[in-house]
């Protein structure tokens, strides 16, 4: 069958189950109760410190076929996923599903566990590196589930991703399981992505290299939800947190795109007292924030808050008074880590508070604007941030679809050509974020506005910005680079791309070898 944006999705998929097709960004309503874990009890004399991960595995006990969850706050510096899976392998456990909020190159050892049958399922919001390559080539027999950051929180809270054991890499913990991310040698800042896991998993294990005196504070995850505390030598390398670009671009084309994007935001009337925005960590997104900051200073206004993965650039805006608050689900560099530990206006928020579409209201709903990247965008404004031009998985939504759905004004900032290929296509290879939630495409050769936003078209045109039809941008790109050949993929579905509400917006097929 085809879903509402015309993507071919099966009715049923072996290893995934019945497919609920995507029907629109706000067309699927919750019809369930919240996940209800078994109620527990601890007597005063009970202790939570376990000697080793092996002891925890035996005590729970971890069995074949369970789902183990992990957060990705250490990004490419994580040490806990590999450590826990090595323990599972040593104990001969098979058929585990790994629910890891994002997968990085450091997680390459996962593949050995897949080959040995220790791990047979993967549930994640983003992946890059060897695991992503192997998924694209079909290493898992069950399709991998790719979610959004808000969608993962939703799936956990709504009982669609049930976690048997959450292993939480804890930069600091006390002996009774209070956890935070701001102390210890591997401080990673916000622990936002681990909070739903801790709230709803059947068992919660804090894995820490820094045991602090009870009661630890501040508390990101409270003792009431943590069953075991395991001290290990090191939980990760905080240097690995900084991965990918977290600096304002110096590329003149990128800067031009960013200036134009800021101009669109101004034309939309959003450079006003109390504005709010989210930016990704990419160079062009950060450059857009830079120009917005300049415009705010010129206009003498300040922002009520900025959301997102947080970089030093946002922290600097907070310290200069351009931002009144930062809401932080994830630190992208060590400045962000330091700031959240010391500045009360830099606030930790959970993945659910950030972006879960199925609660009484998440933060993305309050965003004025967000500027995001794209690998491809089609003439219906559907965006691909999941697969590359060769069809390999190289990302995933993360918070892309969430912020796009929530913000009043969503901009995609991107070079018209990516490598030598036009980014505007008739059809994206993989639809990650639906076009109805995207308002503007900003490129170095012009600005395309979604046809539903006639109001915006008028304002941006009146501001003298180079507005073009998206088909025109596509033709310009093809004039330079030629019409790209359609990517050939295999037939087998290797990943299901779930929209934030749990419907299937697309599938990823195995790359053709």
Q: Smaller CB distance to a second copy: residue 215 or 451?
A: 215
410 sits near a second copy (criterion: CB under 8 A): no
Q: Smaller CB distance to a second copy: residue 119 or 351?
A: 351
Residue with the two structure tokens 């009484």 = 360
Out of 74, 358, 371, 457, point to the residue binding a second copy (CB under 8 A). 358
Q: Smaller CB distance to a second copy: residue 305 or 457?
A: 305
What is the rounded distance in angstroms from the CA atom of residue 345 to the CA atom of residue 327? Answer: 8
The minimum distance between CB 344 and a second copy, in angstroms, equals 7
> 149 Cβ partners below 8 Å, 6+ apart?
101, 125, 193, 329, 351, 354, 355, 397, 398, 399, 402
- The b-or-e profile of 388-416 (16+ CB within 10 A means b, else e) is bbebbbbbbbbbbbbbbbbbebbbbbbbb
Q: Which helix (H) or strand (E) holds 456?
A: helix 454-462
The minimum distance between CB 327 and a second copy, in angstroms, equals 6
DSSP codes of every residue in 131-189: HHHHHHTT--SSPEEE-BHHHHHHHHHTTSS--SEEEEEESEEETT--EESSSSTT--S
**Site residues (CB under 8 A) for a second copy, limited to 56-75:** none
16 sits near a second copy (criterion: CB under 8 A): no
The minimum distance between CB 325 and a second copy, in angstroms, equals 6
**Site residues (CB under 8 A) for a second copy, limited to 108-167:** 157-158
By CB under 8 A, which span of 287-295, 351-359, 374-382, 448-456 interacts with a second copy?
351-359
**Site residues (CB under 8 A) for a second copy, limited to 298-337:** 304-305, 324-325, 327
How many chain residues touch a second copy (CB under 8 A)?
A: 63
Out of 10, 109, 222, 466, point to the residue binding a second copy (CB under 8 A). 222
What is the rounded distance in angstroms from the CA atom of residue 250 to the CA atom of residue 312? Answer: 16
The minimum distance between CB 237 and a second copy, in angstroms, equals 28
The minimum distance between CB 348 and a second copy, in angstroms, equals 9
27 sits near a second copy (criterion: CB under 8 A): no
The minimum distance between CB 4 and a second copy, in angstroms, equals 17
The minimum distance between CB 362 and a second copy, in angstroms, equals 6
Out of 1, 36, 321, 419, point to the residue binding a second copy (CB under 8 A). 36
Q: Smaller CB distance to a second copy: residue 284 or 315?
A: 315
Out of 4, 23, 245, 359, point to the residue binding a second copy (CB under 8 A). 359
Q: Smaller CB distance to a second copy: residue 1 or 39?
A: 39
What is the rounded distance in angstroms from the CA atom of residue 238 to the CA atom of residue 504? Answer: 35
The minimum distance between CB 178 and a second copy, in angstroms, equals 9
Residue with the two structure tokens 């002996």 = 175
217 sits near a second copy (criterion: CB under 8 A): yes
Within 188-262, strands assigned E span 203-208, 211-212, 228-231
127: preceding bond cis by omega (within 30 degrees)? no
By CB under 8 A, which span of 27-35, 56-64, 161-169, 257-265 interacts with a second copy?
27-35
The minimum distance between CB 411 and a second copy, in angstroms, equals 16
52 sits near a second copy (criterion: CB under 8 A): no
What is the rounded distance in angstroms from the CA atom of residue 354 to the CA atom of residue 358? Answer: 11
513 sits near a second copy (criterion: CB under 8 A): no
3-state secondary structure of 511: strand
What is the rounded distance in angstroms from the CA atom of residue 66 to the CA atom of residue 246? Answer: 36
215: preceding bond cis by omega (within 30 degrees)? yes
DSSP codes of every residue in 325-344: EEEEEEESSHHHHHHHHH-T
423 sits near a second copy (criterion: CB under 8 A): no
Q: Smaller CB distance to a second copy: residue 17 or 44?
A: 44
Residue with the two structure tokens 């697969």 = 387
What is the rounded distance in angstroms from the CA atom of residue 173 to the CA atom of residue 223? Answer: 9
The minimum distance between CB 66 and a second copy, in angstroms, equals 18
Q: Smaller CB distance to a second copy: residue 104 or 381?
A: 381
226 sits near a second copy (criterion: CB under 8 A): yes
192: which DSSP letter?
G
434 sits near a second copy (criterion: CB under 8 A): no
What is the rounded distance in angstroms from the CA atom of residue 488 to the CA atom of residue 76? Answer: 31
What is the rounded distance in angstroms from the CA atom of residue 317 to the CA atom of residue 322? Answer: 5
366 sits near a second copy (criterion: CB under 8 A): yes
Residue with the two structure tokens 């290990």 = 232
Q: Smaller CB distance to a second copy: residue 438 or 508?
A: 438
Out of 104, 167, 176, 193, point to the residue binding a second copy (CB under 8 A). 176
Residues 68 and 99: beta-carbon distance below 8 Å: yes
Separation of CA 169 from chain center: 18
What is the rounded distance in angstroms from the CA atom of residue 105 to the CA atom of residue 100? Answer: 13
490 sits near a second copy (criterion: CB under 8 A): no
229 token code pair: 């505390």
Q: Smaller CB distance to a second copy: residue 34 or 471?
A: 34
40 sits near a second copy (criterion: CB under 8 A): yes
What residues make contact with a second copy under the rule CB under 8 A?
26, 29-44, 46, 48, 157-158, 176-177, 204, 213-215, 217-219, 222-227, 274, 304-305, 324-325, 327, 344-345, 347, 349, 352-353, 356-366, 405-408
């Amino acid at each position: 069958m085809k879903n509402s944006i015309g993507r071919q999705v099966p009715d049923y998929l072996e290893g995934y189950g019945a497919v609920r097709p995507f029907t629109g960004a706000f067309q699927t309503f919750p019809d369930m109760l919240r996940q209800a874990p078994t109620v527990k009890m601890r007597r005063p004399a009970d202790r939570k410190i376990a000697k080793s991960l092996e002891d925890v595995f035996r005590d729970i006990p971890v069995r074949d076929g369970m789902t183990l969850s992990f957060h990705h706050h250490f990004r490419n510096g994580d040490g806990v996923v590999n450590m826990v899976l090595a323990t599972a392998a040593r104990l001969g456990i098979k058929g585990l599903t790994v629910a890891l909020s994002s997968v990085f190159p450091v997680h390459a050892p996962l593949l050995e566990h897949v080959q040995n049958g220790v791990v047979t399922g993967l549930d994640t919001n983003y992946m890059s590196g060897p695991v992503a390559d192997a998924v694209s080539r079909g290493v898992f027999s069950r399709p991998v589930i790719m979610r959004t950051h808000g969608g993962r929180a939703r799936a956990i809270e709504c009982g669609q991703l049930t976690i048997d054991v959450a292993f939480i890499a804890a930069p600091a913990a006390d002996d009774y399981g209070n956890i935070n991310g701001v102390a210890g040698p591997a401080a990673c800042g916000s622990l936002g992505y681990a909070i739903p896991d801790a709230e709803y998993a059947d068992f919660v294990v804090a894995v820490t290299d820094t045991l602090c005196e009870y009661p630890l504070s501040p508390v990101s995850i409270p003792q009431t939800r943590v069953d075991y505390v395991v001290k290990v030598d090191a939980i990760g390398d905080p240097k690995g947190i900084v991965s990918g670009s977290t600096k304002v671009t110096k590329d003149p084309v990128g800067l031009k795109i960013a200036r134009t994007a800021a101009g669109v935001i101004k034309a939309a009337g959003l450079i006003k007292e109390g504005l709010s925005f989210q930016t990704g960590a990419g160079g062009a997104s950060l450059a857009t924030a830079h120009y917005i900051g300049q415009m705010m200073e010129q206009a003498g206004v300040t922002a009520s808050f900025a959301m997102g993965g947080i970089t030093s650039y946002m922290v600097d805006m907070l310290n200069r008074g351009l931002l009144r608050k930062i809401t932080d689900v994830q630190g992208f560099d060590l400045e962000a880590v330091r700031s959240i530990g010391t500045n009360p206006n830099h606030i930790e928020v959970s993945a659910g508070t950030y972006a879960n579409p199925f609660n009484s209201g998440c933060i993305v709903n309050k965003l004025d604007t967000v500027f995001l990247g794209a690998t491809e965008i089609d003439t219906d404004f559907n965006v691909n941030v999941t697969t590359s031009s060769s069809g390999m998985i190289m990302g995933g939504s993360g918070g892309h679809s969430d912020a796009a759905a929530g913000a009043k004004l969503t901009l995609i900032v991107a070079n018209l050509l990516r490598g030598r290929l036009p980014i505007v296509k008739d059809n994206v290879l993989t639809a990650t974020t639906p076009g109805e939630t995207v308002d503007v495409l900003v490129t170095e050769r012009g600005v395309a506005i979604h046809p539903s936003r006639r109001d915006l078209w008028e304002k941006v045109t009146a501001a003298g910005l180079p507005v073009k039809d998206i088909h025109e941008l596509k033709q310009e790109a093809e004039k330079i680079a030629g019409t790209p050949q359609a990517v050939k993929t295999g037939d087998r579905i290797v990943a299901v791309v779930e929209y934030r509400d749990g419907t299937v917006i697309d599938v990823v097929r195995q790359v053709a070898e």
